């Protein structure tokens, strides 16, 4: 488990930010914006398929479901077959974000009870037919006794054995917290994307979750820093992405800015990455998906060391 000294003795926020922003930094290096220039090629899929990726955070409300929907659909748009599993049993909402709520007739619970076949529980997206949604249970329903990690391992094996072949990616939207639902959701995963916001409560939970993931044998953990506000970082009211990375010590998959379009798209059931023209957070999710495919990561940059007059692409590292 990564030891996080700063988290052990939390200080008042003002001291905290001062401490981080006053550190001597290495000189700013110009960034090459690779990803935005890469769209004339298909990303190279790294690692064995299906890649089973759990999207987790510890703290609730930091953007796991938003990340699952947007990264999942970005992967589908890049040409990969994707099954997104909503493992947030109590507070299922991935179907709402995807605008697929009216098409979920069966769930994994019915499949396990023998009431329907697996393909009946898979909801194929009409916009991207290589994207399918699978919900564990009906909203507000209780899971059958004994439902746990083994059931999800069975599910992954059943998805691999489908006639049409195994999907390239199985993405699991994890519930908040670190109790049974979390353990169940991470059991079949080989890799994890940890979503955090740049605040101390989210970081503490993220650190705890990192330790639990490592205990479970998941060593490939990358992080997404969500709801980043450059104006607040500049005013030293928010931790910088570099500070977050130094604290958690995880490779950075993406930095997603705070963007009102996220809320609008959530309410419309139309994931951001499908927006035309693209929203800034949508572009950031697309780039994160690209890095996920290639098992790549990005570098955080210090805002105060950036040259003046940088455009909005300054969110994206090289
Ligand atoms: P979780 O699954 O971790 O509970 P959600 O993905 O449901 O979190 O997001 C919680 C809320 O935060 C939603 O209302 C969502 O629209 C909003 N949100 C997430 N990411 C952003 C962002 N980058 N900018 C603005 N709002 C966001
Ligand atoms: Mg959620």
Residue 75 Cβ contacting ligand 1 at under 6 Å: no
CA of 94 to the centre of ligand 2 (A): 7
Residue from 57, 60, 62, 66 to probe ligand 1 pocket by mutation (most atoms less than 8 Å from CB): 66
CA of 114 to the centre of ligand 1 (A): 35
Please determine, for residue 104, whether its predicted confidence score (pLDDT) is greater than 60: yes
The minimum-distance atom of ligand 1 relative to the CA of 257 is 23
pTM of the predicted structure, to 2 decimals:
0.85
Residue 188 Cβ contacting ligand 1 at under 6 Å: no
Q: What is the pLDDT of residue 22?
A: 40
pLDDT digits 0-9 by tens, 17-60: 333 444 444 444 444 444 444 567 889 999 999 999 999 998 99
Q: What is the pLDDT of residue 141?
A: 72
Least confidently predicted of 3-12, 55-64, 69-78, 277-286: 3-12
Residue nearest to atom 11 of ligand 1 (CA): 61
| Torsion sign across C-alpha atoms 52, 290, 285, 209 | positive
> Counting ligands in written order, which one lies closest to the CA of residue 264?
1
Q: What is the pLDDT of residue 37?
A: 45
CA of 267 to the centre of ligand 2 (A): 14
Taking the CA atoms of the chain, what radius of gyration do you get in angstroms? 19
pLDDT digits 0-9 by tens, 148-205: 999 999 999 999 999 999 999 999 999 999 999 999 999 999 999 999 999 999 999 9
Give percent of the chain with pLDDT exceeding 70.
82
Instruction: Tell me the residues surrounding ligand 2 (ion) with CB < 5 Å.
Output: 64-65
Give percent of the chain with pLDDT exceeding 90.
73
The mean pLDDT value for 246-254 works out to 96
Q: Which of 189, 228, 182 is nearest to 60 (CA)?
A: 182
The mean pLDDT value for 235-250 works out to 94
Q: What is the pLDDT of residue 303?
A: 56
Gap between the Cα atoms of 71 and 226, Å rounded: 13
The answer to whether 61 is annotated as binding is yes
The mean pLDDT value for 95-121 works out to 95
Please determine, for residue 317, whether its predicted confidence score (pLDDT) is greater than 90: no
Residue nearest to atom 27 of ligand 1 (CA): 262
Q: What is the pLDDT of residue 15?
A: 34
> How would residue 299 be classed by pLDDT, with cut points 50, 70 and 90?
confident
Burial, 14: exposed, middle or buried (Cβ in 10 Å; 0-12, 13-18, 19+)? Answer: exposed
> How would residue 279 be classed by pLDDT, with cut points 50, 70 and 90?
very high
CA of 305 to the centre of ligand 1 (A): 29
Residue 235 φ/ψ, nearest 5 degrees:
-80, 5
> Counting ligands in written order, which one lies closest to the CA of residue 90?
2
Residue nearest to atom 14 of ligand 1 (CA): 263
> Counting ligands in written order, which one lies closest to the CA of residue 257?
1
CB contact burial 88-119 (16+ within 10 A = b; e otherwise): bbeebbbbbbbbbbeebebbbbbbbeeebebe
The answer to whether 62 is annotated as binding is yes
CA of 42 to the centre of ligand 1 (A): 29
Q: What is the pLDDT of residue 293?
A: 97
Residue 78 Cβ contacting ligand 1 at under 6 Å: no
| Torsion sign across C-alpha atoms 187, 189, 191, 192 | negative
Q: What is the pLDDT of residue 312?
A: 53
CA of 260 to the centre of ligand 1 (A): 10
Residue 258 Cβ contacting ligand 1 at under 6 Å: yes
Pairing between strand 131-135 and 123-124? antiparallel
The mean pLDDT value for 55-75 works out to 96
Gap between the Cα atoms of 303 and 244, Å rounded: 13
Please determine, for residue 259, whether its predicted confidence score (pLDDT) is greater than 90: yes
Average pLDDT, the chain: 85
The answer to whether 60 is annotated as binding is yes
CA of 186 to the centre of ligand 2 (A): 15
Least confidently predicted of 14-23, 31-40, 111-120, 254-263: 14-23
* Whether the Cβ atoms of residue 255 and residue 284 lie closer than 8 Å to each other: yes
């Amino acid at each position: 488990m990564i030891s996080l000294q700063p988290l052990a003795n939390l200080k008042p926020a003002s001291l905290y930010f001062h401490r981080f922003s006053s550190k001597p930094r290495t000189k700013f290096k110009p960034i090459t914006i690779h990803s935005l220039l890469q769209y004339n090629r298909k990303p190279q899929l790294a690692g064995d398929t299906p890649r089973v990726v759990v999207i987790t955070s510890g703290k609730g409300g930091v953007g796991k479901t938003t990340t699952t929907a947007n990264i999942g659909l970005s992967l589908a748009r890049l040409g990969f077959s994707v099954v997104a599993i909503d493992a947030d049993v109590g507070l299922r909402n991935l179907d709402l974000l995807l605008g697929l709520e009216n098409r979920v007739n069966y769930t994994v619970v019915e499949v396990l009870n023998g009431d329907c076949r697996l393909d009946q529980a898979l909801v194929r997206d009409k916009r991207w037919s290589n994207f399918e949604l699978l919900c564990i249970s009906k909203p507000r329903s209780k899971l059958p006794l004994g439902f746990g990690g083994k059931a999800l391992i069975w599910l992954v094996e059943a998805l691999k054995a489908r006639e049409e072949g195994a999907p390239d990616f199985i993405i699991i939207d994890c519930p908040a917290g670190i109790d049974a639902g979390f353990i169940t959701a991470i059991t079949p995963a080989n890799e994890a994307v940890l979503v955090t916001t740049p605040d101390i409560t989210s970081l503490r939970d993220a650190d705890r979750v990192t330790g639990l993931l490592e205990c479970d044998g998941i060593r490939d953990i990358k992080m997404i820093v969500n709801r980043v506000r450059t104006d607040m970082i500049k005013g030293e009211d928010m931790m910088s992405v570099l500070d977050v990375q130094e604290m958690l010590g995880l490779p950075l998959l993406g930095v997603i800015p705070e963007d009102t379009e996220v809320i609008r798209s959530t309410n419309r059931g139309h994931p951001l990455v499908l927006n035309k023209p693209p929203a800034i957070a949508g572009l950031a999710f697309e780039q994160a998906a690209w890095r996920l495919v290639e098992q790549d990561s990005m570098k955080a940059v210090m805002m105060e060391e950036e040259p003046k007059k940088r455009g909005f692409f300054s969110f994206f590292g090289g």
